[in-house]
Amino acid sequence: MRLLKLSSMGAALLLMVASCGPSTKMVGTWKPETASENLPYKKVFILPMTENIRAKAAFENSVAEQLKRSGVDTELSSTHYPPEFVASSAQDRLNLVAKMKELGCDAVLVMSLLDSQTETRHVQGNTYPAGAYGYYGGFGTYYGYRYGMVYDPGYYVEDKIYFLEANVYDVASESLQWSGQSKTYNPSDLESFSTGYAEILVMQLLRNNIIAE
């Protein structure tokens, strides 16, 4: 069974650095050649795979809100299972799928963190020619005024980058119907991270006809 065999989002989702502001982009998507007859999906079971309760709630709620704005009904895993629930056995997964069917869900959206990275980059300083610019005064005044403009060595910053994967499975057949990988730079906090991600994700699901308004 391919369903739910994804890596989990870890506590790294809470260790975010504010630098240039959040920016999420979808960097890759996949669809099978033969799509399910159930497309577009009308009711989605949302399942973030993580041990981090705060991250799970944030991503569940943000994605559910965006889907509902598009007219898609949702069910949250946290509504029906405790935060620490993990479908670790084959029977657990069978029961989970049975629950989705019982709730009338025709698709399940599974989200997970693929990787997180820290990159150091240099921000170039400003350099100016040391010619006369019409500023007059004593040597000390001029030198102090011009020094900061003539030479600025720049500085180094660290960027935090998160790679997330979202998979949409058909509940009836358990077949993978869509997969998308995203890259997020420097999310300032968990709320902005989850909100920005949800907006990009749902927009892509609409474009790929996985859901319909």
Residue 31 domain flag: yes
At residue 66, does pLDDT exceed 70? Answer: yes
The whole-chain average pLDDT of the chain stands at 83
User: Quick one: pLDDT at residue 120?
Assistant: 80
Residue 50 belongs to what domain range? 11-118+159-207
Express each pLDDT in 10-59 by its tens digit: 434 433 333 344 489 999 999 999 999 999 999 999 999 988 899 999 99
User: Quick one: pLDDT at residue 117?
Assistant: 83
**pTM above the 0.85 mark?**
no
Q: For residue 178, give the 3-state DSSP assignment.
A: strand
Residue 124 domain flag: no
At residue 6, does pLDDT exceed 50? Answer: no
Nearest CA among 39, 43, 101 for reference residue 70: 43
Tokens of 138: 């004593």
d(CA 85, CA 72): 25
User: Quick count: other Cβ atoms within 10 Å of Cβ 150?
Assistant: 13
Mean pLDDT over 74-91 rounds to: 92
Could you tell me the pLDDT band of residue 181, with boundaries at 50, 70 and 90? very high
Q: Name the least confident of 17-21, 108-112, 126-130, 200-204.
A: 17-21
R_g over Cα of the chain: 24
At residue 202, does pLDDT exceed 50? Answer: yes
Residue with the bigger pLDDT between 88 and 104: it is 104
User: Quick one: pLDDT at residue 119?
Assistant: 77
Query: What CATH code is carried by the domain that includes residue 22?
Result: 3.40.50.800
Residue 151 domain flag: no
Residue 75 domain flag: yes
How many structural domains is the chain composed of?
1
Residue 44 domain flag: yes
Residue labelled with tokens 């057949």: 173
Q: Which residues pair with 176 in a beta bridge?
A: 169
Q: Name the least confident of 106-115, 125-134, 147-156.
A: 125-134
Could you tell me the pLDDT band of residue 143, with boundaries at 50, 70 and 90? low
Residue 147 domain flag: no
Percent of the chain exceeding pLDDT 90 equals 59
Burial code of 22-48, b = ≥16 C-beta within 10 A, e = fewer?
A: bebebeebebeeebbeebbbebbbbbb
Distances (CA, A) of 150 to 15, 125, 127, 137: 38, 10, 5, 17
